[in-house]
Amino acid sequence: MRIEAETVERMVAWRRDLHAHPELAFQEVRTADLVARELAACGLSVKTGLGRTGVVGTLSRGDGPTVGLRADMDALPIQEATGASYASRTPGVMHACGHDGHVAMLLGAARHLASRTDLSGTVHFIFQPAEECEGGGRAMVEDGLFRLFPCDSVYGLHNWPGLPLGTFATRVGAIMASLDTFEITVAGFGTHAAMPERGTDTLVVASELVLALQTIVSRRIAPTDPVVLSVTQIHGGDAYNVIPERAVIRGTVRCLDEAVRKRVAELVEAIAGGTAGTHGARAEVDYRFGYPATVNTADAVGTALEAAGTVPELSARHGEVVPSMASEDFAYMLEACPGAYAWIGTDGAERGPPLHNPAYDFNDAALSIGAAYWAALGTRLLGGR
């Protein structure tokens, strides 16, 4: 499976245009307009405004299977430092996760598949907003994605620095972790810093609590169950000589198993209350369940690997990759419909900057490879040659 040279040129142009004009979650108006225009130019029927700024293009080729192929569209609130000629023109916003490349690859595949006459079935090209922490996948599902566009299976693809160009990686089961957040407010009794015995030191409680929370992973959850609990913020106090009445701790929890996820939430509540109570303080816990784990189904993983095997440039294919403890809201689509999520390597001769780094830039050499995978997957599912 190969993509036509003219389509590759278009993908590069689309990608760099999108890179220069990044848009944050649920603000992808210009991006959605470009996507809708190009899908319509291929002869696809187009639905806009799904999940606020999402777009779905439908290629209908009579009776047969129905598949959803998904790309995310949003950028990140990061000041770009690539120095590229097509660098972001929007201060403080950039495509630091490669969603510009994802959009271009799926548009290229749509253009290729729309030219085919040997397919039987339907492909829904799903362009999703707000993947970065805002739950655009959930918004599309709740807005009727699979009711309006029923799918037998749905697939996602993400570029992956750290894997060499030409690598395709996936696995059965959880490939990416759930993402939950917590905020713990420690309430005590403020006092003069010279007279700590007359108050309740919330900063001491907060300090002990940061360490105590780590025992959840090291002593309360089995070593065979991956969990990452990270405290990422501590706030408290405004003066050198005042012990504050309140301190706030915030952080995230990542899990691959749903039962473990619920157990960690219970332990955060219990340890916060117990640690604070030991010092005569109180702990108020706001624990928020966010993205679920991204869980692939076995049949869909098999199909994805078979399709990748027909792309000559995907010479390295891994079906049992180690999961990532990062998270992905394609998980909401996989909760509603069976499917598979995969990674495609983007590193060239030298390893580039990681995702979410100000110097990151999508490797354009991956565009034709990713589009070829999408086209091969659509061809395999719709019985083409």
**What's the average model confidence in pLDDT over 237-245?**
96
Topology of domain 5-176+293-384 in CATH is Aminopeptidase (3.40.630)
pLDDT in tens, 304-315: 999 999 999 999
Average pLDDT on 255-279 reads: 97
We find that the CATH architecture of domain 178-290 is 2-Layer Sandwich (3.30)
The count of other CB atoms within 10 Å of the CB of residue 114 is: 18
Q: Domains of the chain: which residue ranges?
A: 5-176+293-384, 178-290
Chain segment 293-344, per-residue pLDDT in tens: 999 999 999 999 999 999 999 999 999 999 999 999 999 999 999 999 999 9
- The per-residue pLDDT for range 37-66, each reduced to its tens digit, is 999 999 999 999 999 999 999 999 999 999
The pLDDT, as a whole number, for residue 351 is 85
| Res. 349: pLDDT tops 80 | no
Backbone angles phi, psi at 336, to 5 degrees: -95, -20
Confidence at residue 384, expressed as pLDDT on a 0 to 100 scale: 65
Inter-residue contact 96 to 352 (CB < 8 Å): no
How large a percentage of the chain has pLDDT more than 70? 99
DSSP state of 354: P
Q: pLDDT tens across 92-122, in order?
A: 999 999 999 999 999 999 999 999 999 999 9
Q: Average of pLDDT values for 358-375?
A: 97
- Inform me whether the pLDDT recorded for 198 exceeds 80: yes
Average pLDDT over residues 31-35: 98
- The 3 state secondary structure assigned to 83-135 is CCCCCCCCCCCECCCCHHHHHHHHHHHHHHHHCCCCCCEEEEEEEECCCCCCC
Going by pLDDT thresholds of 50, 70 and 90, the confidence category of residue 350 is: confident
pLDDT at 1: 75
Cα 74 to chain centroid, rounded: 10
Question: Where in 236-328 does DSSP place strands (E)?
Answer: 242-243, 246-255, 282-289, 294-296, 316-318
Distance CA 155, CA 343 (A): 11
Residue 2 is which amino acid? R
% of the chain residues with pLDDT over 90: 97
How does residue 2 score in pLDDT terms, banded at 50, 70 and 90? Answer: confident
Annotated binding site for Mn(2+): 97, 99, 132, 158, 356
Take residue 179 and report the two structure tokens written for it: 């993402």
pLDDT of residue 102: 98
Strand 191-192 with 242-243, pairing:
antiparallel
Residue 385: per-residue pLDDT: 66
Distances (CA, A) of 275 to 16, 147, 206, 207, 376: 52, 47, 9, 10, 55
Q: Please name the residue that has the structure tokens 């913020």.
A: 233
**Binding-site residues, please?**
97, 99, 132, 158, 356
**Residue pLDDT, tens place only, 132-168:** 989 999 999 999 999 999 999 999 999 999 999 999 9
Pairing of strands 167-169, 316-318: parallel
Q: What is the mean pLDDT of residues 12-38?
A: 98
Please indicate, yes or no, whether the overall pTM of this predicted structure exceeds 0.85. Answer: yes
